Amino acid sequence: MTDAPARILLVEDEPHLAVGIRFNLESEGYNVVHVETGEAALTALEDFSFELLVLDLMLPGIDGLEVCRRVRKDQPQLPILMLTARTEEADRVAGLATGADDYLTKPFSLAEFLLRVAGLLRRSRWQPQPPQKEHYDFGVFKVNLTELTAETPRGAITLTDQEAKLLRLFFANEGHVVTRQQLLSEGWGMAPDTETRTLDNFIVRLRKYFEPDPSKPQHFITVRGRGYKFQKDNN
Ligand code: CA
């Protein structure tokens, strides 16, 4: 048993539902990383350890069933709670057959959802946990999100919790756009339509730390009109 907050990966492509779920999980003290696609989920699972996967069934690209199938090969002990808008029994059976541990049909009550989450975590916490893996290297930079430290050619950096949280979000979504709305909401708990320079200032700081040349970003790329994208390799 461990006392650290459980780390949960939430894979959900409906923004409103994702915001509600994340808010409720964080209110319970869980540590949540949210991604919107199956591809991003698989990347996040390769780079970080989680104690629970909350997985939407219907996703663009690689769907929840396929994610579930692949996760089961690599991490047979990771509990999976599958969410689906479908009501057909066939999907439920398919979900459980591919290795989901539990299952909720949308719309569900958040109270019921939190009970299921707690139940799955309670069961899994009796199992030995793999060591937390929160090291992330890209280009000439080495980041340790557990220790809140980073090594750069310009020297060592101490990260704030806030910076680590947003870096984790970028790393988990490597190669995919993270929208301004997502960053504002997950980083600062701000409503998606907030007019603010907070995020812009944060990106400037991030580039000072983690770009060989902050004026020509290679890792934290602006995607005009949408947000930002983290690229591990500058090709
Ligand atoms: Ca969906």
Distance in Å, CA 163 to ligand 1 centroid: 29
Q: Please state the pTM of the whole predicted model.
A: 0.60
Please report which confidence band the pLDDT of residue 1 belongs to, taking 50, 70 and 90 as the band edges.
Answer: very low
Residues ≥6 apart with Cβ < 8 Å to 14: 56
C-alpha distances (whole Å) from 227 to each of 54, 108, 140, 178 are: 25, 31, 24, 6
> Mean of the per-residue pLDDT values for the chain?
87
Summarised one tens digit per residue, pLDDT across range 150-200 is: 999 999 999 998 899 899 889 988 888 999 888 888 788 777 677 778 889
C-alpha to C-alpha distance for 203 and 141, rounded to whole angstroms: 16
**How large is the average pLDDT for residues 196-224?**
93
In the chain the domains, ranked by start, together with CATH numbers, are 7-125 (3.40.50.2300), 135-230 (1.10.10.10)
Distance in Å, CA 84 to ligand 1 centroid: 7
**pLDDT attached to residue 36:** 95
Summarised one tens digit per residue, pLDDT across range 69-99 is: 999 888 888 999 999 876 666 666 676 767 7
Distance in Å, CA 14 to ligand 1 centroid: 6
